Structure 1
Amino acid sequence: MTKESFRDAVIKTLEKRFFYTPSFKIYGRVAGFYDYGPPGVAVENNVLAFWRQHFVDEEDMLEVKGPCVTPEVVLKASGHVDKFTDLMVKDEKTGTCYRADHLLKDHCKDKLEKDVAISSEKAAELMHILAVLDDLSAEQLGAKIKEYAIVAPDTKNPLSDPYPFNLMFATSIGPTGMSSGYMRPETAQGIFADFKDLYYYNGNKLPFAAAQIGQAFRNEISPRQGLLRVREFTLAEIEHFVDPDDKSHPKYSEVSDLEFLMFPRKEQMEGQSAKIFRLGDAVSEGIVNNQTLAYFIGRVYLFLTRLGIDKKRLRFRQHRQDEMAHYAADCWDAEIESSYDWIECVGIADRSAYDLRAHSDKSGIPLVAQEKYAEPKEVEKLVIKPNMKELGPAFKGDQKLVIESLEAMDEKEAMEMKVILESKGEIEFEVCKLQKTVTIKKNMISIVEEKTKEHVRTFTPSVIEPSFGIGRIIYCLYEHSFYTRPSKDEEEQLNVFRFNPLVAPIKCAVFPLVQNDEYEKVAERISESLFAAGIKYKKDITGTSIGKKYARADELGVPFAVTVDTETSVTIRERDSKEQIRVNVDEVAKLVKKLSKGRTTWADISQKYPAHNTNLADCAKDLAVRMLTSP
C-alpha cells in the first residue's frame, strides 16, 4: 500500500465514522476549518485530560485561561504584528493566492521523485533548496520560482513576486472600532502578560511553570494536508520560568536514561540521519543546552509514546543555527512521521528572557523576579534621578507615568539615554502607559553612577517553552493506530484503530449475542454499571450479526467488547488479539475500568479468567435455531 492509498483509507474511515468532517460543507465548506464529531471530540478530550495529568498535575503547574482576542499592543510587543508572516504569491490573472515556499517545495520534490533523467548535480541542488527552504528571503524565493519557471498549479498562469502576508486574523474591540486586536496566534502571550500575578501567586519563588490550553488562529494562505494545517486549532502550551543562571532541574535524573531518536544540528548539516541518543549523554556532550530543556524533551517523549505514538516514528530535531530565533538558547521539535513525511507536533524551546523583556519594555511594568542575598553586596549601578521642578510643569498630570517609565529602563537603555542627552540635550522617549512619545530634556533628569548596597538580586527569568499542536498529534495518532485485517470470508478488508484505552473515544461496547429480552436486560444492567464506574460505553441491541457489531466497534477503535450470551456470565473480547475471556456479569465494570485506566493489562487478566474459544457467530446461529424450534 502506498503512502497516498494508506492516507486515503485513514481519512475515509475517519470521515465515515464522523471523527471529523469539513466545516460548513452544505455551503461548499471553507478551507482550513473542520468540525470534530462525537468520537473526534472524545479523542481530543482524552488526549487533553492525559496532558493535564502528565504535565499540569504531575509537575504542579499553574493552569490559566485567557481570551482568544488579544489587543494589538500585546502582539506588537511580542513581534507578531511585524514578523508573523509567510511569503505569498498570486496568480497574476485570477488573483488566487499560494504560499511561495510550498510551490517551490512541491516543484523540488516532484523533480526528485519523477524525473528519472535528473543529473546528480541537479538533484543535489534541489535537495539543498529543500534543506534551506525556511531560510530563503522573498528575493531568493522569487528568483528560484522564476529560474524553475514555476506557475500557478491550477491555471498555469504566471505568478507575482513573493511578498509577506501576516497570518493573524485582525479584529476590532468595542463598538467604535478604534481599538485594534487580533485573534491570538498562540496562547503564550497571555501567560507572559500574567507573569507578575503568577509569580506572586507562587509565593515569589522560582522556578515555576504556567500552562494553558486553548484555541489559536492562523489565517493560512492556502491550507492543505487536512488536519495538519488549519486556520483554527487547539494548542497546549507551557511556560516554565527559571533563573537564567541556574537551569538545572531537580527531576532531571528521572529522564536522563531515556533513549530515543534525536537529530542534532551537526548531523543535519553533515547529511546524516537521526540516531538513538541517551538523553543524559546529549546534555553532558553539550548537544542539549541545559537540564531543564532536556527534562521537558524527556517528558514530551513519554507523553507521546504513552498516547500511542510509535517510538520508531518519533524523533527530536534540533533547530539549526540559521533557523533558530536570535534570542533562543536552544530549540528542539518533536517530529512524528506520517504519510505526509515528518510533521512538527511539539516545539520545546529555551527562549531565554526575550518575552518578558519585550513586554516589560512595551508596558513599562517590570516583569522580574528577585533573589535575596545572604549578605548585602556593594555594586555600582546607574541611577536615574528626576528633577521634579522641570518634569512637573512639562508633563503635569502625566508626570508620575513618565517617571515610572524612566525608572523602568535597564542599564543599557539608561546609558544610551545618558549619551544622547549629553550630546544633543534632549531625546524622544516612549511612555508605554500613555501610548505616546514625549521629549526628555537634559535638565529634567540626571543619570549618575553610584555605589550602593543591594540586598536582593533582581533579574528577568528565562523561559523554557514546550508548545503542543494537539490536532497534529491526534492526526498522527490516527495514522499510527490504523490498520486493516481481512473479514471472516476474506472478501473485504476491515478497518481498525488500535487506540490505547487511554485515548479511545469509547472504552467498551456492549451487545447481546442475539435479540432476546433476557439478554437485553443483562446488557442494560451492565451498561448501568459501566456508567456508574465512569466508563464511556456504546450499547448495540440491533439485530445485526455479532461479527458486524465487532467490526463496527473495531472501526471506532473500541478496545473491549462485552457480549451477553447467558444471564449470569458474559464474554469480554480484546480488539486486536480478538481473544475472549468469560467473566461474571457483576465483574464486568470493575475489569473494564482497570483495563481502561491502565491499572492492569489484557495479558494479566487473561491469565486469571477462563478463555472463551467458542466461535460466537456460529453460537449465535445455533442459539437462534434453538429459539425458533423450541416448543
Structure 2
Amino acid sequence: MADRDSLVAAVARQGAAVRELKKNGGAAADITAAVVELNALKAQLNALAEPVGIVVNKKALEDLLLRKMFVVPSFEIYGGVGGFYDFGPPGAAVKTNLLNLWRRHFLLEDDVLEIECTNIMPEVVLKTSGHVDRFTDLMVKCTKSGECYRADKLVEDFIENLLAKNASALTSEEQEKHRLVATKAESLTPDEMHAVIQEYGIVSPGHGAVLSAPVPFNLMFQCHIGPEGHNVGYLRPETAQGIFLNFRRLLEYNAGKIPFGCAQIGNAFRNEIAPRGGLIRVREFQQAEIEWFVHPEDKSHAKFSQVASQRLTLFPKANQLTTGKTVVLTVREAVDQKLIANESLAYYLARTASFVAQLGIDMDRVRFRQHLDTEMAHYACDCWDLEIQLSTGWVECAGHADRSCYDLQVHAAKSKVEMVGTLKYDAPRAVDVVDIKVNKGKVGKAFKSDMVLVNKALEALRVDDAAALAFEATLAEAGTADLHVDGKSFTFARDMWSAAKVTKMVSEEKFVPSVIEPSFGVGRILTAVFEHTFYAREGDEKRGVMAFPAVIAPIKVAVLPLSNAKEFNPVVQDLERKLRAVCRSLSVCAAMWKRGGLVFV
C-alpha cells in the first residue's frame, strides 16, 4: 500500500484534475470517471492511520476558555446566536497583545502606514470589486421553523450519513453514484439542487419538515444608509477594499514613493449560513492585512538579505501533486529556484514565520502551502497560505498573495479616478507609444445620444494598444470599422479616429502597481495559540495551564503575599504601583493564594 504522503499527493492531483474538467466544461462521463477515481483514492487515504497530530483535550480546553472567560458566546443570556463570540478580559488582553506585537513586527519594522476605514460600504464599491455577485451560497429554509441551512452542506451530510448506515446494503456502483452527487453539490444550480433534495427526500434536520426551494444567498450583511432607504450598503466582507479606495491619497502621503505598504486591522463580516468550528468560521471576525504596493516589473525587497538565510517549511504545489511531502529551504534557495515568485513575497513569508514563532506556536506544526493553479484567481501570480496544524487538521491562518492590482484597476475604471504610480527616469528615454486622435465633432454628430457608450469603448481602446492598432488597421483597409460595446455596434469612418505608433522622449512612466498581500485571520491564529499553549498539569488533569509567552500573556506578573498582615501593605502597594506602570499585574490576597485560587500561571 502507498504511504500516506503519496496518497495525499494523489488525492490533491486528482482533485485538481476534477476541478479542471468542471472548469473547462468536460464531458459528464469524463467528470464521473475522474470523481470515481478521486473517491477511491480518498477511501485508501482514510483507511490509513491518521498521523500523530496535536494531542489536546478539546473538552478541557473549551471548558477552560469558557469558564475563565477567554471566549464566550455572544448574547448568551438570550440563548446566543451562531457565529458570534465575545472576548472576556483575558481573551481581549491576549488579542490586544497579539495585535500590538503584529504592529511592532510588521508595521514599525518596515515603516508601513496604517489606516482605519469604515465597516459599512456603499453598494457601488462592492459591486465594482465583484463581492455583490460573487459572495453567494445556495440556501434552503425549514417550512415549519423557518430555520435556514446551507444547501450543499445539507446534501453532503445527508449522503455521508446514508453511506455510513447502508454501506453493506449498497453496491460499490451505488455508493460511487451517491458520492458523485455529494462532490458536485457545491457547484449545482438552484434547480439542480432542488431536484437532488427532492430525489433524496431530504428534510430539515431540526424538525423533519419539508425544505423550501434553494435560493442564492448573498453572504454579505446588507443595510440601508440614510432614512430614505434608497442608498444600499453592506458590512464589509474584508478590510482590503478600504486601502484600495484610499490608494491615491496614501501615495500622496508617502510622497509618491513606491514601494510602500499600508495596513489595516479591523472587523469583517460574512453572513455564514451555518457557522461552525468556534473562532474558525464566524460571522464577525477580525483581520489584520497589509497591502505592499510594488512596481509590477520590480518585486525585489530592500530587506531581503536580512531573511535570506531563514529556513521555511514549504509545501509547493508540485509536491502536493506528487510526493505529498514538505521541503525545508532557505528563503534565498526558494527564490533562486523560483519556488517563491519574488523577493517581496518571500520576505513576508519569512516575517510571518518569525511572527508566529513568538506566539508560542509549535513551529514543527507550521507550514506554508502553495495554492494549486486551480485554486488561484486568474490575476494572481503566486499564493501561499500559512497553515497551522490543530487537533482538527491543518487550518489556514494567514494568506500571502502576489497579485496584479485588479482592485485598483476596476475601481479606477468605475470611478474615473486615476490610480497609478510614477517611476521617474534618471534621464529621458525613447519609448514607442500609440498616439490616438479623435475627431470629437464628427464622432459627437454621428452618435449623439449614444456618446456615453461610445466614449466607454474609446477609453477601452486608449488603454489597450494592441486593440487600438487592430482597429486602426481595419479602418485603413476598409475605410470603416465597427466598435462594439454592451451589445451595440457603432460604425466609425476613416475621418473620425486614427491611431499610429510613434516614438516619444519621456522622463517618467505611469504604472498600475502590483500588490503583495499578507492577510491574517486573528481569530484563527488565536485558536492556534490556545491549542498550542494549553496543557494539563501532570497528575492533575483538571488544572489546565495556558503557557502563553510573556509577550502576549494577559497578565505579566502576580503579586503573591504570604501573609495578610497589615505591615506588608505599604510594600505590596508600592510594588503593585511600580508594576502597573509597565504591565498588567494581578494582586492576590494570601488566603486566595493558599487556596490555589490563582487563575494564570
- Short-chain TM bin: 0.7 to 0.9
Instruction: Report whether the alignment pairs 1:199 with 2:251.
Output: yes
Once the two structures are TM-superposed, the CA of residue 449 in structure 1 deviates from its matched residue by 2.0
Q: Which amino acid aligns with 2:434?
A: K
Once the two structures are TM-superposed, the CA of residue 31 in structure 1 deviates from its matched residue by 1.3
Which of 324, 337, 343 is the matching residue for 1:285?
Answer: 337
Which of 550, 556, 572 is the matching residue for 1:507?
Answer: 556
Aligned counterpart, 1:517:
566
Which of 106, 112, 117 is the matching residue for 1:61?
Answer: 112
Aligned counterpart, 1:34:
85
* Matches for 1:132-281 after TM superposition, within 5 Å: 136=187, 138=189, 152-155=204-207, 164-270=216-322, 272-281=324-333
Which of 412, 415, 436 is the matching residue for 1:383?
Answer: 436
- For structure 1, the 5+ residue unaligned runs are 431-436, 555-631
| SS of the residue 1:548 aligns to | coil
Question: Any conservation in 1 of the 2:471–2:481 contact (CA below 8 Å)?
Answer: no
Question: Any conservation in 2 of the 1:425–1:441 contact (CA below 8 Å)?
Answer: yes
Q: Which amino acid aligns with 2:88?
A: G
Instruction: Report whether the alignment pairs 1:20 with 2:67.
Output: no
Once the two structures are TM-superposed, the CA of residue 524 in structure 1 deviates from its matched residue by 1.1
Instruction: Report whether the alignment pairs 1:295 with 2:347.
Output: yes
Q: Which amino acid aligns with 1:536?
A: R
Aligned counterpart, 1:544:
592
Aligned counterpart, 1:11:
62
Once the two structures are TM-superposed, the CA of residue 514 in structure 1 deviates from its matched residue by 2.3
Q: Which amino acid aligns with 2:576?
A: S
Aligned counterpart, 2:360:
308
Question: Any conservation in 2 of the 1:225–1:340 contact (CA below 8 Å)?
Answer: no
- Are residues 77 and 243 of structure 1, via their aligned partners in 2, closer, same or farther at CA, if it must alter by over 3 Å? same
Once the two structures are TM-superposed, the CA of residue 214 in structure 1 deviates from its matched residue by 1.0
Distance of 1:438 and 1:215 partners within structure 2: 45
- Are residues 113 and 320 of structure 1, via their aligned partners in 2, closer, same or farther at CA, if it must alter by over 3 Å? farther
How many residues of Structure 1 are paired with residues of Structure 2 in the alignment?
541
Q: Which amino acid aligns with 1:517?
A: K
Question: Any conservation in 1 of the 2:434–2:465 contact (CA below 8 Å)?
Answer: no
Once the two structures are TM-superposed, the CA of residue 443 in structure 1 deviates from its matched residue by 9.5
Q: Which has the larger radius of gyration?
A: 1
Q: Which amino acid aligns with 2:116?
A: K
Scaled by the length of structure 1, the TM-score of the pair is 0.75
Aligned counterpart, 1:535:
583
CA deviation map 1:266-322 (0-9, x unaligned): 222236143434333332222222221111111111111111111022111111111
- Are residues 271 and 254 of structure 1, via their aligned partners in 2, closer, same or farther at CA, if it must alter by over 3 Å? same
* Matches for 1:557-572 after TM superposition, within 5 Å: none
Q: Which amino acid aligns with 2:115?
A: V
Aligned counterpart, 2:95:
44
Question: Any conservation in 2 of the 1:384–1:407 contact (CA below 8 Å)?
Answer: no
Once the two structures are TM-superposed, the CA of residue 75 in structure 1 deviates from its matched residue by 1.0
Which of 481, 484, 508 is the matching residue for 2:533?
Answer: 481
- Are residues 310 and 451 of structure 1, via their aligned partners in 2, closer, same or farther at CA, if it must alter by over 3 Å? same
Question: Any conservation in 2 of the 1:368–1:460 contact (CA below 8 Å)?
Answer: yes
- Are residues 173 and 39 of structure 1, via their aligned partners in 2, closer, same or farther at CA, if it must alter by over 3 Å? same
Q: Which amino acid aligns with 1:493?
A: K
| SS of the residue 2:66 aligns to | helix
Aligned counterpart, 1:553:
600
Once the two structures are TM-superposed, the CA of residue 84 in structure 1 deviates from its matched residue by 1.8
CA deviation map 1:166-212 (0-9, x unaligned): 11111122222222211111111111111111122222221111111
- Are residues 336 and 517 of structure 1, via their aligned partners in 2, closer, same or farther at CA, if it must alter by over 3 Å? same
Distance of 2:396 and 2:85 partners within structure 1: 20
- Are residues 425 and 104 of structure 1, via their aligned partners in 2, closer, same or farther at CA, if it must alter by over 3 Å? closer
* Matches for 1:73-112 after TM superposition, within 5 Å: 73-91=124-142, 94-103=145-154
Distance of 2:196 and 2:316 partners within structure 1: 28
Once the two structures are TM-superposed, the CA of residue 116 in structure 1 deviates from its matched residue by 9.0
Question: Any conservation in 2 of the 1:387–1:443 contact (CA below 8 Å)?
Answer: no
Q: Which amino acid aligns with 1:521?
A: P
Q: Which amino acid aligns with 1:65?
A: E
> How large is the RMSD of aligned CA atoms in angstroms?
4.1
Once the two structures are TM-superposed, the CA of residue 416 in structure 1 deviates from its matched residue by 9.5
Q: Which amino acid aligns with 1:41?
A: A
Distance of 1:473 and 1:388 partners within structure 2: 61
Distance of 1:508 and 1:440 partners within structure 2: 79
Aligned counterpart, 2:11:
none
Once the two structures are TM-superposed, the CA of residue 543 in structure 1 deviates from its matched residue by 2.0
- Range with greater deviation from structure 2 (227-236 or 116-125): 116-125
Distance of 1:230 and 1:479 partners within structure 2: 18
- Range with greater deviation from structure 2 (53-62 or 308-317): 308-317
* Matches for 1:416-431 after TM superposition, within 5 Å: 418=471
Once the two structures are TM-superposed, the CA of residue 519 in structure 1 deviates from its matched residue by 2.3
Distance of 1:199 and 1:166 partners within structure 2: 33
Q: Which amino acid aligns with 1:86?
A: D
- Are residues 516 and 349 of structure 1, via their aligned partners in 2, closer, same or farther at CA, if it must alter by over 3 Å? same
Distance of 1:15 and 1:320 partners within structure 2: 38
Once the two structures are TM-superposed, the CA of residue 359 in structure 1 deviates from its matched residue by 1.2
- For structure 2, the 5+ residue unaligned runs are 1-51
Distance of 2:68 and 2:160 partners within structure 1: 33
CA deviation map 1:533-569 (0-9, x unaligned): x21101112622435144x223xxxxxxxxxxxxxxx
Distance of 1:521 and 1:219 partners within structure 2: 54
Using CA pairs under 8 Å that are at least 6 residues apart, name the structure with larger relative contact order, 1 or 2.
2
- Are residues 530 and 111 of structure 1, via their aligned partners in 2, closer, same or farther at CA, if it must alter by over 3 Å? farther
Question: Any conservation in 2 of the 1:112–1:118 contact (CA below 8 Å)?
Answer: no
Question: Any conservation in 1 of the 2:461–2:468 contact (CA below 8 Å)?
Answer: no
- Range with greater deviation from structure 2 (497-506 or 32-41): 32-41
- Are residues 110 and 361 of structure 1, via their aligned partners in 2, closer, same or farther at CA, if it must alter by over 3 Å? same
Which of 311, 318, 341 is the matching residue for 2:393?
Answer: 341
